[in-house]
Amino acid sequence: MYSKIEALLKKINEYPPLTEGEMLRLREEFIISFTYHSNAIEGNTLTLQETALVLQERITIAQKPLKEHLEAIGHKEAFNYIVELVPQETPLCERTIKEVHSLVLMDRPQDKGTYKRIPVTIQGAVKMLPEPHQVPLLMEQLLEEYRQYDEMHLIEKVALFHLKFEEIHPFVDGNGRTGRLLLNFELMKEGYPPINIKFQDRRKYYDCFTDYLLKDTPEAMTELIAGYVEEELERYLSIVQTANQLSEMDIER
């Protein structure tokens, strides 16, 4: 499953890197798309174009609630926050998780960055969520387990962490968005591109959680994430190849 991904990474590294300006532009485009899809999965009704207007121009969209505007802005700030942490190789820890959540839930100042204090249910879930008093210990155990996944490939590690994080559902709201940001944080620290789980794939994404809870295997989520990583690497390789071809043409002229 991972041989093609590793080959794509190797191929990309054979090319000169893109300029800082080019990387910034690609990141901004990714943030808009990632924010739109991640928020849409959770019920935000801003369109992709509206999300771009909110994030780039800070335009208020008529007929759309302030909450949805703040969700877009908070998600972008949370992504920029983890991007800043990547070069520092900041370990995944409770503090980082809570700080990411604080940005995601910027519209809920009393709930952001704190574990849930009331029971939370998910309609149609195949398993009951842990009670609030169980969350601190479960999160401590999850982080300790994650540090011991040494023999797993990174993609399998982050898939399993994501599944278990969402199974704990530590916050009163914002768990999905926070979980997908943390997933990308861990991918980027190891040189992989961030992935963007699409709104149109939400049923397949949800099925991965059901599959894990029923079969106790992360295989479905691992395959989903691996597919997205491969897709992003192929897209980036195409961009890098085109950029270098244009540079070679300029030199020949």
DSSP state of 221: H
Please state, in angstroms and rounded to a whole number, the distance separating the CA atoms of residues 115 and 68: 22
User: Which two structure tokens, joined as six digits, stand for 84?
Assistant: 């800043």
**Active-site residue numbers?**
169
Report the amino acid identity of residue 50: E
Which among 250, 242, 246, 236 is positioned nearest to 29, based on CA atoms?
236
Contacts of 54 (CB under 8 A, 6+ apart): 46, 60, 61, 69, 72, 73
**Count of H-run helices and E-run strands, the chain:** 10, 0
Burial of 162 (0-12, 13-18, 19+ CB in 10 A): buried
